[in-house]
Amino acid sequence: MKITRAEVEHVGRLARLALTDKELDSLTHEMDAILDYVEQLKALNTDGIVPTAHAVPMENAFRTDEIKTSFTPEQALSNAPDAAESAFRVRRVIE
Amino acid sequence: MTIYNLTLAELRTRLDSRELSAVEVTTAYLDRIAATNHEINSFITTCNETAMAEALAADQALAAGDIAPLTGLPIAVKDIFNTTGLPTTCASNILKNYIAPYDATAIARIKAQRAVIVGKLNMDEFAMGSSNENSAFGAVRNPWNFKHVPGGSSGGSAACIAARQAAAALGTDTGGSIRQPASHCGVVGLKPTYGRVSRYGVVAYASSLDQVGPLTRDVRDCALMLQAIAGYDPADSTSVDTPTPDYQASLTGDLKGLRIGLPQEYFIEGLDSDVRKAVAQATATYRELGAEIIEVTLPHTAYAVACYYLIATAEASSNLARYDGVRYGLRAGNAENLIDMYMQSRAAGFGTEVKRRIMLGTYALSSGYYDAYYLKAQKVRTLIRQDFLNAFEKVDTLLAPVAPTPAFALGEKVNDPMQMYLSDIYTIPANLAGTCAMSLPCGFSTEGLPIGLQLIGKPFDEVTMLRTAYAFEQATEWHKRKPEF
């Protein structure tokens, strides 16, 4: 076994996904099979190989620090599930 | 003359000569969509009202002589592109009611040419899938055979071109999501070099791999679409500031001196015999056209799928963290506290495959596993990329199958994620290497399903790749076939 049900449950919490018992069962089984498959990478010697984050060499993209037009508060809030005044509204965070 | 059978280039000529108006063209396509979408399910949203308004504006521009290459041409876009005022669902319940307040750069560019957007296309949820079965809006059916998948994730984009529901489409390709459905639906699909086309306003899946590209009926149309969307965009920090060549001018048909590489590792066991035959025939055609065929080796090909499913899922788990039910998207109503609200909203909004990939990616990035999985995969990616750079010292372009089999049956692989992932074995490497690649029709299976030929070009050398594709298309008739229905 590459991964246990308890580990899957833990990863679910990290990923902020509420998983049902049935989902935990099937994910444990499927992730185990996938992790078993990716195990083959370990056979490759990658000592001294520089990791590739992007295939095209890239530098940080800077722009001049100038004011540009952006969304109005109404536009920014247009898809909000809940909003009040100029803010997104969520349940109380601090009791 | 049936309007919806005309290519972009043919429509261009008729619009310019006033033989047809943009309103007539748009009406013909909207009628075609209305008559056929219940069978294909390629569209999530059709936008008749805005399309007709855009067609009227295009006719006014045409009358005033203000004509760009795409003025008045009917184009459909994958539902992953933000489009002002229209829903952008990404085929997910979590974005079902999302209406973007801005246009993606690729959309803004085709709109600036007064193209007519006829609708938003079905896809695998968040572009995660190879069959278009992972859509909250139902599976798309292959226009060549309704019992088969159109491929994915840009399944709607490929099916709509084959079904003559739009003259051109935009898709995205992270591990083959333009090329594989193009192959399965018998159309042309091109993934540009990473950095060639802006992804600004495109819902992110795996940011180091995602690239925007066109799906069309032939290579000329493909060049026309690429011309419209390519080029540096300051709003996408990964877009590369390099001049965009004239792609139409590359369509010379001349292959003199061209060296085409056959990667040995792509012609292995598991490759369907019809696909093998069609690709071998295409190779023979290229030889007759004067190209030199050279065997090359990409030794790390076998590791590409494993490498991809670690990198792509890791990036996806990070990108999809934004769906928290706070600023946009679905919010679950029954939560006890803020964390519970995140967990319930995401549980209710994401489909099975999306959850699976978020979980795998979260695991690969989690404490204690990062080096063994994510970092290891990034190192293997370096080896895979180096394979391509080595091969491109000997050849100008690579020739390969797109997919190991023709389109498989609906339902055939849904319960076996690993089998589904392996269907991307020939397309994933180009994404990992960041280079350009395309699919063009090269034959049919004994069952009558289309087969695509893959060309993989050097980074930023779409010109040579398009020239190679065009010469093949000129010498064959495969792209002229269309499904009967």
B281-334 pLDDT tens trace: 999 999 999 999 999 999 999 999 999 999 999 999 999 999 999 999 999 988
Shortest alpha-carbon distance between residue B207 and chain A (Å)? 9
d(CA B207, CA B74): 29
A37 touches chain B (CB under 8 A): yes
Confidence label for B80 from pLDDT (cuts 50, 70 and 90): very high
* For range B186-207, the mean pLDDT: 98
Q: Tell me whether residue A13 is in a domain.
A: yes
- Cβ atoms < 10 Å from Cβ of B29: 27
Q: Tell me whether residue A38 is in a domain.
A: yes
pTM for this entry: 0.97
pLDDT, tens only, B222-259: 999 999 999 999 999 999 999 999 999 999 999 999 99
* For range B193-209, the mean pLDDT: 98
d(CA B452, CA B463): 20
- Nearest in space to B201 (alpha carbons), one of B103, B85, B58, B327: B103
Q: Name the least confident of B92-96, B227-231, B415-419.
A: B415-419
Structure letter (DSSP) for residue B374:
I
Confidence label for A54 from pLDDT (cuts 50, 70 and 90): confident
Q: Which residue has the tokens 């930023």?
A: B460
pLDDT of residue A60: 83
DSSP strand E in B270-351: where? 292-296
Q: Tell me whether residue A90 is in a domain.
A: no
Tokens of B273: 């015999």
- 3-state SS string for B134-164: CCCCCCCCECCECCECCCCCCHHHHHHHHCC
pLDDT of residue B176: 98
- Nearest in space to B425 (alpha carbons), one of B313, B317, B307, B315: B307
Q: Tell me whether residue A70 is in a domain.
A: no
**CATH number of the structural domain spanning residue A29:** 1.10.20.60
pLDDT of residue A65: 93
* For range B54-65, the mean pLDDT: 98
Confidence label for A95 from pLDDT (cuts 50, 70 and 90): confident
Cis peptide before B154 (omega within 30 of 0): no
Taking a C-beta distance cutoff of 8 angstroms, is the pair B37, B165 a contact? yes
Answer whether residue B415 shows pLDDT above 90.
no
Distances (CA, A) of B435 to B34, B152, B224, B227, B241: 38, 20, 20, 17, 16
Q: Tell me whether residue A29 is in a domain.
A: yes
pLDDT of residue B128: 98
Fill in the amino acid letter for B465.
M
Cross-chain residue pair A51–B381, CB shorter than 8 Å = yes
Q: What percent of chain A has pLDDT over 90?
A: 77
pLDDT of residue B281: 98
Mean confidence (pLDDT) of chain A: 93
Strand bridging mode B450-457 / B116-121: unpaired
- Contacts of residue A42 in chain B, CB cutoff 8 Å? 372, 376
Helix, strand, coil % in chain A, rounded to nearest 5: 40, 5, 55
pLDDT, tens only, B256-274: 999 999 999 999 888 999 9
Q: Which domains are seen in chain B, by residue range?
A: 3-254 (3.90.1300.10), 302-376 (no CATH)
Strand bridging mode B292-296 / B397-401: unpaired
* For range A60-83, the mean pLDDT: 92
pLDDT of residue B335: 87
Q: What percent of chain B has pLDDT over 70?
A: 100
pLDDT, tens only, B210-226: 999 999 999 999 999 99
Q: Which residue has the tokens 């319940």?
A: B93
d(CA A22, CA B85): 39
pLDDT of residue A57: 77
Q: Tell me whether residue A55 is in a domain.
A: no
Query: Is B21 one of the annotated active-site residues of the chain?
Result: no
Enclosing H/E stretch for B314: helix B304-319
Mean confidence (pLDDT) of chain B: 97
Confidence label for B27 from pLDDT (cuts 50, 70 and 90): very high
Strand order in the sheet with B397-401: B43-46, B116-121, B74-78, B168-173, B211-216, B188-191, B437-444, B450-457, B397-401, B259-263, B292-296
pLDDT of residue B485: 77
Question: Side-chain half-sphere of A73: how many Cα atoms within 13 Å?
Answer: 6
Q: Tell me whether residue A69 is in a domain.
A: no
Answer whether residue B121 shows pLDDT above 90.
yes
3-state secondary structure of B301: helix
Task: Suggest the residue from A36, A38, A93 to mutate for an interface test with chain B (most B CBs closer than 10 A).
Answer: A38
Domains in chain A, number: 1
Confidence label for A92 from pLDDT (cuts 50, 70 and 90): confident
d(CA B473, CA B442): 9
Tokens of B461: 């050398």
Enclosing H/E stretch for B362: helix B352-365
**Terminal-residue alpha carbon distance, chain B:** 17
d(CA B232, CA B235): 9
Answer whether residue B7 shows pLDDT above 90.
yes
Shortest alpha-carbon distance between residue B50 and chain A (Å)? 20
Fill in the amino acid letter for B57.
A
A52 touches chain B (CB under 8 A): yes
Q: Tell me whether residue A27 is in a domain.
A: yes
Distances (CA, A) of B402 to A18, B4, B289, B353, B475: 37, 27, 22, 23, 20
pLDDT of residue B333: 86
Cross-chain residue pair A55–B434, CB shorter than 8 Å = yes
Of B208, B335, B418, the CB nearest to A91: B335
Taking a C-beta distance cutoff of 8 angstroms, is the pair B211, B191 a contact? yes
Query: Is B394 one of the annotated active-site residues of the chain?
Result: no
d(CA B363, CA B310): 10
**Would you mind telling me the total number of residues written for chain A in this entry?**
95
Query: Is B131 one of the annotated active-site residues of the chain?
Result: no
pLDDT of residue B475: 97
Q: Give me the domain span that covers residue A24.
A: 5-43
pLDDT of residue B158: 98
Confidence label for B416 from pLDDT (cuts 50, 70 and 90): confident
